Amino acid sequence: MRTKPNIWFFLLPLLLGSCQKEDIPAPGQVDAELASYLEDFIIEGEARGYQPVIDPGILDIRFDTLTGAVTGQCLTYSDGRREIKVSTSFWANAAAFDKEFLLFHELGHCLLDREHLDTQRADGTCLSMMHSGQGRCRNTYGASTRTRYLDELFQAD
Ligand SMILES: [Zn+2]
């Protein structure tokens, strides 16, 4: 059974990140336009008692041209460094909460070592902002749900 398509079924496949190993690239940095998202992520985590699993100092965050409909990726390199790539074309047209969702989702992979979680709540919405985008849950990340999703994101388990 398929639920009626809506905008999220269009958007969600674009939100897929992937974790894969690649050859070691040249050292990078955090793009200035994306730095505030890393800061917010750490602030929101600290407010919830989060201690980083991965040292943010080994993480690079930058824009890139990603293939297909991928909007963000968390990459882990063989020397332990990590990198988040954000689709330049996605960013140009994304709404504020969609940008934050993408960054926080990828930071969930890269700094919290979280994997995808596609669990649905009773109302069909996603339990976690770490959903894959390929599951059936509906993403509702926004002003009224942000706190709940961030509580779940930083929940120690
Ligand atoms: Zn992901």
If you measure from the C-alpha of residue 104 to the centroid of ligand 1, how many angstroms do you get, rounded to a whole number? Answer: 10
With 0-12 CB in 10 A as exposed, 13-18 as middle and 19+ as buried, what is 114?
Answer: buried
Asked whether the CA dihedral 100, 55, 30, 28 is positive or negative, the reply is negative
Name the residue with tokens 């388990």: 157
If you measure from the C-alpha of residue 6 to the centroid of ligand 1, how many angstroms do you get, rounded to a whole number? Answer: 20
If you measure from the C-alpha of residue 41 to the centroid of ligand 1, how many angstroms do you get, rounded to a whole number? Answer: 16
pTM: 0.81
Other Cβ atoms less than 10 A from the Cβ of 6: the count is 9
Query: Tens digits of per-residue pLDDT, 43-63?
Result: 999 999 987 778 888 899 999
**Mean pLDDT within 77-93:** 94
pLDDT at 28 over 50: no
pLDDT at 22: 52
If you measure from the C-alpha of residue 105 to the centroid of ligand 1, how many angstroms do you get, rounded to a whole number? Answer: 6
Residues with CB under 5 A from ligand 1 (ion): 17
If you measure from the C-alpha of residue 47 to the centroid of ligand 1, how many angstroms do you get, rounded to a whole number? Answer: 23
Query: Tens digits of per-residue pLDDT, 104-128?
Result: 999 999 999 999 999 999 999 999 9
If you measure from the C-alpha of residue 74 to the centroid of ligand 1, how many angstroms do you get, rounded to a whole number? Answer: 8
**Mean pLDDT within 8-36:** 59
Which amino acid is present at 154? F
Instruction: Provide the β-strand partners of residue 82.
Output: 59, 76
If you measure from the C-alpha of residue 14 to the centroid of ligand 1, how many angstroms do you get, rounded to a whole number? Answer: 10
If you measure from the C-alpha of residue 32 to the centroid of ligand 1, how many angstroms do you get, rounded to a whole number? Answer: 23
Tell me how far CA of residue 63 lies from CA of 17, 41, 72, 92, in angstroms.
14, 18, 9, 11
The rounded mean pLDDT for the chain is 84
Give a three-class secondary structure readout of 39-65: HHHHHHHHHCCCCCCCCHHHEEEEEEC
* φ/ψ of residue 120, rounded to 5: -100, 145
Which region holds residue 143: left if phi is over 0, alpha if psi is between -120 and 50, else beta?
Answer: alpha
What is residue 100's three-state secondary structure? helix
Least confident of 4-8, 103-107, 139-143: 4-8
If you measure from the C-alpha of residue 68 to the centroid of ligand 1, how many angstroms do you get, rounded to a whole number? Answer: 15
Q: How far apart are CA 115 and CA 96, in angstroms?
A: 24
What is residue 61's three-state secondary structure? strand
